[in-house]
Structure 1
C-alpha cells in the first residue's frame, strides 16, 4: 500500500504570551498515512495533535520538517498539495447555515470551478448514499446535528480529494446516527477509494473503523501501530471468579502471596475474586488454594480490554517499553 501522506521530523514552537517562554508543541514528529486506510490520529488535549493537523492542512507553518501529500511538499507547492486533501472541522464550520442542503453543495462545487450542470449527477449520488435526498431543499440550520454532519462530509467529497480529514465526526450524535456515519466512512474508503484521517475522543469509533492509530503525547509520537496489535499487547489476563462460599483468612493470606493485586469481595452468598494473571500456569496456584478448603467455583469470567483503556495506558506512559511500528 503506497503512502499518500508523509510527515517527517515536524517541529513547532510557540511563545507563551506573558513570559515569552518557548514551548515545544510539536517535537520531531514523523509518521505516514497509507492510501485507502482509515487512520486514527489521537492525543490528549495539549499533546500537539491539533498543531500537527493544522500543519497537514496548510493552516500552520512548521518551524522544521516536511509534509508531503501525494508526493507534493505542502510548503513548496502549497495549493497544489492541498488539492489532495479536504477537511471536515468539528462543529460543521464548513457549511453555510442559511443555504439549503443542495445550495451548499452547488456553492462549494462552484468554488472549485465546477458548473452546476456538470456536478448535478455527483450531488444526486452523494445525497442518495448519505440519506439526504429527502432534505435537499431544507435549510441547514433546520437540520439535526447528524444531518448536518453527513452534509459536511458530502461537501468534502465534492472536492474529489484523495484524503479526507475528519475532526470529531461523531461528536454530539445520537447512537443511531453515529453508527450511520461510521458506515458512511467505511463506504467512502470502499466505494470511492479515498483515505480518511480521524481525530476523535470517541475511542469506540476509533476501535470500530480504524485500522491503525498514531498517538501523539507531549509533542511526540508515542505509538504508531495497528489497533488489533495494541489490543493484543494490553490484553492482560484479568478474571472475575465467583465462589460458592467465602474464603478463609488462611486462604486469603496465601492468595495474596501469589497475587499481590488481588481484590476479594467477601459477599456472604456470592464472594468474588478479581485477579490478574501474568502467566497461564498461575491459574493452577489459584485452584490449589481453593482446593484446600474445597471452595466451589460458580463462574469464571475473563475481562476484555477496549481501546479506551489502551489509549489511557499509552498516554499515562504505562506502555513506554512497547516498540513503535
Structure 2
C-alpha cells in the first residue's frame, strides 16, 4: 500500500475533529494555514468539530476566540473537557450538590450550568472535587482539594495533559497539577474525562451522525491515543507538542494513521503520509539492514543508522518509523546525502 493517500485525505472521511491548542492555534495566535484549512472545509461543506482538553474557556468563548482569529466557528461545534466534566458530575450527584472547583471561571460556570454549586473550600463540605487547568491555580487551591478528597469527595479531573503548547515551548498543563495531588494523596483521580479517554470523540461523532470521522491532533498521548480508543483514524500534525522524535518511540497505542507537517496535509497528497505501511526491515538479512522507499535508503547497523538518497522529508519519516516500530533504534540518524541532511533538519532529527 502506498504511503501517500490517493487524492485529498479529507475526502475519505465524513467528519474532521480538531484539537485546538497546537493544531488551530498556539495560545492566542492561529497556526499558519489553519484559517485557510477550516475555511476550505466549510466551503466543501465538510462537517467539523473542535474537541479540546482545555477547561479554561466555555464553548461560546472558544468560538469567539476562533472567530477573532478568522476561523468561522460556532459554539455547538466546540466540545470542551469542562463541559464533559460537568455533565459527568451531574450524572453522579444530586441537584444542588456542592463541588469544589480547582480551575478557571469557565469550569465553575459549567458546574453551575448543570445545577451544581461551585465552592472553594473543603469546610463547605463538597461532594466532589473537579480539577481543570487555570493559570491562577495555586498551592491553596490544591491544599483545599486535598483535604476534601481525603474527607471522601469524588475526584474528577478534566484531563491529565502534562504540558500545554506555547510559543515558548511546552508549559505545565493540568496533568502536572493533577500529579501534585496524586503525589500528596497517593492515589489517582476517580474519573478523567478528557482525552485520551474517548468520550469527546464519541460525542462529536454522534452529534454529527458521522460513520467515518478523522481526528486531528498534535499530541500522541492524548489526541492520537484518544482517537485510537474511539476506533477512529488520526492525523498527527507537527505544529504543537509531539515531534518526529516522539513519533519514532511511540508505543502502538499512540501511533497515528497519518502524519503531516501542518493542516495542508488534509488537502495536499504531497503534504501527508500514511504510517504503518510500506517496506519493513528483513529480520533474516545478514549484515547491515537496508530498506528503501520513495527515493530514500535507510541503512541500519546495530546502533548506527544512515539515511541517504533524496525525497520528501515526510517520506523519510515514514521510512524511519517503519524501522523504529519494527524494533530498530533510529533516534540518532546520520545523513548520507545532502538531501538527507536537509530532511532530517526539517524533521528536527539532527544530532
Does the TM-score normalized on the shorter chain lie above 0.5?
Answer: no
Q: TM-score, normalised by structure 1?
A: 0.35
Q: Greater relative contact order: 1 or 2 (C-alpha under 8 angstroms, separation 6 or more)?
A: 1
Q: Which has the larger radius of gyration?
A: 1
User: Which is richer in strand?
Assistant: 1
Q: TM-score, normalised by structure 2?
A: 0.33
